[in-house]
Amino acid sequence: MDASMASSTLPGVKLSNFTTSKFNPNSSVINLKFAATFFTCSAWLHAKLQVPLRSHTCEIKCEVSRNSGSISKLKLDGPIKNRGLTGKTFSSVGICTDPLSDNESHSHVEEEKVGVLLLNLGGPDTLHDVQPFLYNLFADPDIIRLPRLFRFLQRPLAQLISLLRAPKSKEAYASIGGGSPLRKITDDQANALKSELEAKKLPTNVYIAMRYWHPFTEEAAQQASRRAKPHESNVILYIKRDGITKLVVLPLYPQFSISTTGSSIRALQNIFREDKILSKLPVAVIMSWYRRYGYIKSMADLIEEELQSFKTPREVMIFFSAHGVPVTYVVDAGDPYKDQMEECIYLIMQELKARGIENKHRLAYQSRVGPVQWLKPYTDEVLVELGQEGVKSLLAVPVSFVSEHIETLEEIDMEYKELALKSGVENWGRVPALGLTTSFITDLADAVIEALPSAAPMPTFPTTSSSQQQFARDPVGYAIKIFVGSFLACLLLLSPRMLSALRKPVV
């Protein structure tokens, strides 16, 4: 229970190990189980408590029956944070002490310590980081999804692709100041979220875990534990040192994709599964949050405001540009990203309509990489079409990400703007990313608070076996696989189509 203090009004009673269970949000009764030393004998006691659910501070009276006697009144005093109560199963442990020698009985229940882990993609801090950052990205089996037979090629392939792509990427990062702004923006968002949660009476530690650059997921822990024993995983230390008792994982992607949120959660699960403490830690994962009204409203506010910068706002085409994913993700792997994106655009347009804004709109997908088919229509192609169709005013809205990054600052603001103007568009505008927008941060805080009650130990999924394991099981089969795989991979990689696709200045 998230009560910071508890006391027994009965002298001579020492209570410990509070555990509440089977919490029903529709009822004002919770079952309480606690260890009690009643005079000289210890016992587990059960009680039913009447809890005023919507108040922050409450006095709980309960009757506890035991063979040898009864406690007539147990007073739990202090803030009981009901937000933590609105879930399914709810349990916590606290200590209540009431030493016999004390004249005035008072006790203490250990507080819940909530952590929020923000997941993001990460970006190179300097031009020097670009190639290793790209290597990390392409080495992720959720970004380049190789058939099982070719999995052992993931790293050499990542090395090759990152080397081929690095010059173009470096050019793009150089044009926006020599590195990605993602780390700074995410840090600022974390601080703002922490303050907002504090204002909402939920003190938290907010951590950041980037998928492909610093601070990496494993380092998120280190931020909190500088006194790490070298052999221990940083994440274990984060739990040990900060004493986090509940964790909310919040990916900074409004829509779910296997390539973004999915990949980060998989990485997290791998760490948690290996760890005795983390595997039991109650965790709530917010998989996607594009449906939240706070997000939709914040996006609509930004669009409405930016429309005012045009001479004739009603004639502006609202052009949503989302980051693409390869079609196979959606069609073969069942990535809900496309459906979620379309629903998200629908909801934003409905909100604008409700405000009397009935502009035309389009959705297209940007930033494709490599020779495969990506979600269509492609942003560059639609911009040309719109220009040719006579659209004169266009407002670009980046919609898959909540910070400025290379794809807004370079791809949209430079490449796409130039393309649109060349194609006949005369007035160009761009909605800024949500960043630190107050209503957005407030909504993220609400999302965290609402997610807390559903925290439960992370489910663990079996992993695919490592190459060493495969080799140990069947060395001949493994050697054949490597030979055939390498041969096919060389053919594929050295094809002119592949080489030119990787060098294209997209993303």
Ligand X SMILES: C=CC1=C(C)c2cc3[nH]c(cc4nc(cc5[nH]c(cc1n2)c(C)c5CCC(=O)O)C(CCC(=O)O)=C4C)c(C)c3C=C
Distance (Å, whole) CA 285 – CA 116: 10
Give, as ranges, the residues between 267 and 296 that touch ligand X (CB under 6 A): none
Q: Toward ligand X, which CB reaches closer, 8 or 169?
A: 169
Q: 3-class SS at 103?
A: coil
Q: Which two tokens stand for residue 170?
A: 């470096």
CB 125 within 8 A of CB 183: yes
| Pair 99, 123: CB distance under 8 Å | no
Please calculate the CA angle 123-124-129 and round it to the nearest 5 degrees: 150
CB of 458 to ligand X, least distance (A): 23
- Pick from 51, 192, 220, 369 the residue near ligand X by CB under 6 A: 369
Closer Cβ to ligand X, 455 or 507, answer by number = 507
Which residue, 73 or 503, has its beta carbon nearer to ligand X? 503
Region near ligand X per CB under 6 A, out of 25-33, 241-249, 278-286, 320-328: 320-328
> Which pairs with CB-CB distance under 8 Å and at least 24 residues apart come from 69-75?
69/38, 71/8, 71/10, 71/13, 71/36, 71/38, 71/45, 72/10, 73/9, 73/10, 74/6, 74/8, 74/9, 74/10, 74/15, 74/47, 75/6, 75/7, 75/8, 75/9
Long-range pairs, 64-70, Cβ under 8 A, ≥24? 64/36, 66/38, 68/38, 68/41, 69/38
Q: Smallest distance from the beta carbon of 503 to ligand X, in angstroms?
A: 11
Range 160-189, binding ligand X (CB under 6 A): 165, 169, 172, 180, 182
Residue in the block written with tokens 């709810």 = 90
CB of 182 to ligand X, least distance (A): 5
Q: Does 123 bind ligand X (CB under 6 A)?
A: yes
Residue 338 as a binder of ligand X (CB under 6 A): the answer is no
Span near ligand X by CB under 6 A; candidates 3-11, 13-21, 25-33, 255-263: 255-263
Least separation, in Å, of the C-beta of 214 and ligand X? 12
- According to CB under 6 A, which one of 92, 204, 259, 442 is a site residue for ligand X? 259
Closer CB to ligand X, 204 or 340, in the complex: 340
Q: Of 76-84, 99-107, 322-330, 385-393, which segment contacts ligand X by CB under 6 A?
A: 322-330
Question: Residue 488 CB: number of other CB atoms within 10 A?
Answer: 13
SS3 85: helix
Candidate segments 101-109, 254-262, 355-363, 435-443, binder of ligand X by CB under 6 A: 254-262
Give the residue with the Cβ less far from ligand X, 169 or 379: 169
What mask, x for binding ligand X by CB under 6 A, covers residues 391 to 420?
---------xx---xx--------------
Closest approach of Cβ 205 to ligand X, in Å?
A: 24
Nearest residue (beta carbon) to ligand X: 123
User: What is the C-alpha separation between 333 and 290, in angstroms, rounded?
Assistant: 21
Work out how close the CB of 489 gets to ligand X at its nearest, in angstroms, rounded to a whole number. Answer: 17
* Binding region for ligand X (CB under 6 A): 121, 123, 134, 137, 143, 165, 169, 172, 180, 182, 253, 257, 259-260, 323, 325-326, 369, 400-401, 405-406, 507
